[in-house]
């Protein structure tokens, strides 16, 4: 490889391997699109071919979706015989992604025609770093969550030292952690939920993956430097290799379609409906795809939306006929939508979210105030950032002082207050949301932090 050092490469074969979960696959695909667009720019003139490695199940999900011509799918067997059992056996599934994917991945590498220049792997796939190191292929580890969440996992030793590892949530949830480098004070209850599950197997799987990241050659965050400057700076000092924030990793452009958010086409019925609503009047509601709320809670949410009198667009999976019957012309329930198009629509004025990182970044990109209803994993932590640190949203549970079940009257009152365009508290929140929107737009513009990181990353992998 000595010649590669002296003579910069002009074409690269990238192998991208996401963790087999919706948010992870989306983030990896979007990153590949962004990388391709940057590589093609006059600055780099780099030809990329990307082999996107997914399980057979995932090929079924996304195989027919539009993708750039330079991305081709390569498959490995499903990690469990039936991945639809994932919800029932989450720990078994996550465990299998760590123990069962590595070997078929290596066999696939042997079958690929072109030599591989770099592997970009999801940080949760701990084996990828080892495979790359064994074969002398550099590995970039992509962390599809906030850098702060990475840092919390990475500094678990500090939690242990301070007696904050494996705590009883109901007794100690309000105690605060203020000793993790770069992370503003956070209470134990807001740490990623796997820190306070009785069953610690999931936590140990996550910790194993995070500790292996230190053996990679690059660490990529789907976050934006300006959103988490202290924590990213602190991590940069701890790692001996480049740490790059490259977010927002949203489909803000598409090689074939130019700018997605300036050419909103009203080709879907829900976009047509949105276009007939007053500016900023609609609350967009999406509470996650895979880990959903209880059916009793859904009834209360539906009732609350209806009673509030506020216009809403609600993306809900499963059987929603009983809610649809109660919808009047102010509400619409749909099973799926192009979320970023909806969020960027001028009629949408608020986003009720479960705080998945992907959705949160899209909400920031669209400049919207948010109502948060985190359910698990990193969602509780992200909700804390939105509410406490960025002050661009309200926590639904806290605002309604609800117990385990939020009541419709409380939900209705909250929604009304949240969407009241005249109120000063809402105006303040909107102003800050627009500031974050500005930050996220600047990050990906020429001279912006994410753009410059992407350029450095490309230069580095091309051997400049």
Residues that bind ligand NAG (CB under 6 A): 26-27, 30, 36, 39-40, 47-49, 70, 168, 170-171, 198, 250-251, 286, 289, 339, 358-359
127 by DSSP, 3-state: which? helix
Residue 104 CA from chain centroid, whole number: 26
- In whole angstroms, give the CA distance from residue 161 to residue 195: 15
Q: For residue 338, give the 3-state DSSP assignment.
A: coil
Q: 201-212 and 90-99 are packed helices; what angle lies between their axes, rounded to 10 degrees?
A: 30
Name the minimum Å distance from CB 222 to ligand NAG.
9
In this structure, what token pair is assigned to residue 288?
């996650």
Among residues 26 and 400, whose Cβ is nearest to ligand NAG? Answer: 26
Percent helix, percent strand, percent coil in the chain, to nearest 5 = 45, 15, 40
Q: Which is nearer to ligand NAG, 154 or 252 (CB)?
A: 252
Nearer to ligand NAG, 129 or 313 (CB): 313
* Least distance between ligand NAG and beta carbon 178 (Å): 23
8 Å CB contact between 128 and 220: no
CB of 248 to ligand NAG, least distance (A): 8
Nearer to ligand NAG, 69 or 81 (CB): 69
Q: How far is the CB of 340 from ligand NAG (least distance, A)?
A: 6
In 3D space, the residue among 241, 149, 200, 206 whose CA is nearest the CA of residue 461 turns out to be 241
Long-range contacts: 437-443, Cβ < 8 Å, 24+?
437/364, 437/365, 437/366, 437/367, 438/367, 439/224, 439/226, 439/227, 440/224, 440/227, 440/247, 440/248, 440/361, 440/364, 440/365, 441/365, 442/226, 443/224, 443/225, 443/226, 443/245, 443/247, 443/248
**Cβ at position 144, least distance to ligand NAG in Å:** 9
Give helix 357-366 / helix 424-444 axis angle, nearest 10°. 100
For ligand NAG, which is the closer residue by CB, 182 or 248? 248
Which phi-psi region, left, alpha or beta, contains residue 191 (left: φ > 0; alpha: ψ -120 to 50)? beta
Across 92-208, where does the E strand assignment appear? 118-122, 139-143, 176-177, 186-187
Smallest distance from ligand NAG to CB 87, Å: 16
> How near is the Cβ of 373 to ligand NAG at its closest, in Å?
14
Write down the least CB distance from residue 39 to ligand NAG, Å. Answer: 5
Q: Which is nearer to ligand NAG, 250 or 274 (CB)?
A: 250
- 359: nearest Cα among 378, 334, 346, 331: 378
Q: Residue with CB nearest ligand NAG?
A: 26
**Residue number with CB closer to ligand NAG (339 or 347):** 339
Q: With respect to ligand NAG, which residue has the nearer C-beta, 98 or 381?
A: 381
Q: 152 or 316, CB closer to ligand NAG?
A: 316
Minimum separation from the CB atom of position 36 to ligand NAG (A): 5
* 13 prior amide bond cis, ω within 30: no
* Nearer CB in complex with ligand NAG: 27/210: 27
The torsion of the CA quartet 439, 362, 408, 281, rounded to 10 degrees, works out to 70
As measured in angstroms, the least distance from the Cβ of 131 to ligand NAG is 24
């Amino acid at each position: 490889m000595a010649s590669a050092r002296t003579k910069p490469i002009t074409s690269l074969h990238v192998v991208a391997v996401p963790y087999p979960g919706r948010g992870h696959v989306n983030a990896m695909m979007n990153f590949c699109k962004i990388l391709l667009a940057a590589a093609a720019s006059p600055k780099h003139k780099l030809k990329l071919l990307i082999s996107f490695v997914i399980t057979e199940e995932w090929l079924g999900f996304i195989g027919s979706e539009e993708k750039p011509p330079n991305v081709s799918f390569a498959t490995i067997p499903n990690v469990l015989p039936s991945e639809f059992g994932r919800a029932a056996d989450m720990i078994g599934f996550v465990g299998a992604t760590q123990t069962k994917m590595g070997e078929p991945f290596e066999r696939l590498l042997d079958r690929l025609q072109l030599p591989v220049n770099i592997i970009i792997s999801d940080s949760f796939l701990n084996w990828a770093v080892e495979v790359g190191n064994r074969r002398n292929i550099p590995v970039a580890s992509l962390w599809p969550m906030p850098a702060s969440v990475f840092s919390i996992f990475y500094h678990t030793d500090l939690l242990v030292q301070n007696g904050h590892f494996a705590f009883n949530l109901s007794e100690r949830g309000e105690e605060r952690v203020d000793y993790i480098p770069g992370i503003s004070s956070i209470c134990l209850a807001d740490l990623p939920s796997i820190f306070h599950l009785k069953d610690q197997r999931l936590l140990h799987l996550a910790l194993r993956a995070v500790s292996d990241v230190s053996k990679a050659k690059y660490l990529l965050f789907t976050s934006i430097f300006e959103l988490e400057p202290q924590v990213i700076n602190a991590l940069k000092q701890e790692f001996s290799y480049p740490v790059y924030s490259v977010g927002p990793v949203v489909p803000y452009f598409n090689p074939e379609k130019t700018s997605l958010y300036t050419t909103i086409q009203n080709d879907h019925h829900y976009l047509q409906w949105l276009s007939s609503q007053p500016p900023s009047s609609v609350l967009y509601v999406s509470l996650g795809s895979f880990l959903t709320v209880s059916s009793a809670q859904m009834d209360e949410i539906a009732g609350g939306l209806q009673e509030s009198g506020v216009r809403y667009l609600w993306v809900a999976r499963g059987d929603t006929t009983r809610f649809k019957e109660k919808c009047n012309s102010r509400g619409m329930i749909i099973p799926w939508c192009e979320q970023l198009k909806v969020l960027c629509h001028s009629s949408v004025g608020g986003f009720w979210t479960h705080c998945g990182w992907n959705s949160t970044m899209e909400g920031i990109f669209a400049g919207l105030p948010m109502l948060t209803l985190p359910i698990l994993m990193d969602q509780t932590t992200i909700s804390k950032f939105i509410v406490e640190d960025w002050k661009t949203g309200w926590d639904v549970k806290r605002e309604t002082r609800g117990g385990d079940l939020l009541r419709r009257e409380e939900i209705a009152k909250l929604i009304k207050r949240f969407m009241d365009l005249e109120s000063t508290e809402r105006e303040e929140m909107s102003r800050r949301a627009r500031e974050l929107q500005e930050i996220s737009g600047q990050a990906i513009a020429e001279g912006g932090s994410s753009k410059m990181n992407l350029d450095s990353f490309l230069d580095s992998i091309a051997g400049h």
